[in-house]
Amino acid sequence: MLIYDIAVERRVRMKAIVSMSAQGRLTVPAAAREVLRLDGPAEFELEVTAEELILRPAVVIPREDVWAYTPEHMGTLAAALEDVREGRTIRMSETELKKWIVDHS
């Protein structure tokens, strides 16, 4: 087993023998879960080739939340964060915000 982890470049390679149950269940070894920073239940992308079964940790986004990851929305977020960094924002209480919305509608 080889584990090589640097903050800037992270290359980790690990091999282990795992068993499959009669129901098709695999157990990911604790060392592998630690390397992948998996804690608790997880979902994986499964790729099958002629000779391999490859599992990759996956983040599954509910269909109703996909809009948040579109290039247009990501651009809007980037612009908003730039405004914050450049000091082009102001703080308001919820009451002040509601008043501002009413006044500018």
- Quickly state the pLDDT bin for 8 (edges 50, 70, 90): very low
pLDDT at 81: 95
| pTM of the entire predicted model | 0.54
| Side chain identity at residue 32, one-letter code | A
Q: Domains of the chain: which residue ranges?
A: 2-58, 63-103
Domain 2-58 fold: Pemi-like Protein 1; Chain: D (2.10.260)
- Ramachandran class of 70: left when φ > 0, alpha when ψ lies in -120 to 50, beta otherwise: beta
| Side chain identity at residue 1, one-letter code | M
| Side chain identity at residue 37, one-letter code | R
Q: 20 pairs with which residues across the strands?
A: 26
- Quickly state the pLDDT bin for 16 (edges 50, 70, 90): confident
Cα 67 from Cα 73, distance rounded (Å):
7
54-99 confidence digits (pLDDT tens): 999 998 999 999 999 999 999 999 999 999 999 999 999 999 999 9
C-alpha angle with apex 37: 33 to 40, nearest 5 degrees? 65
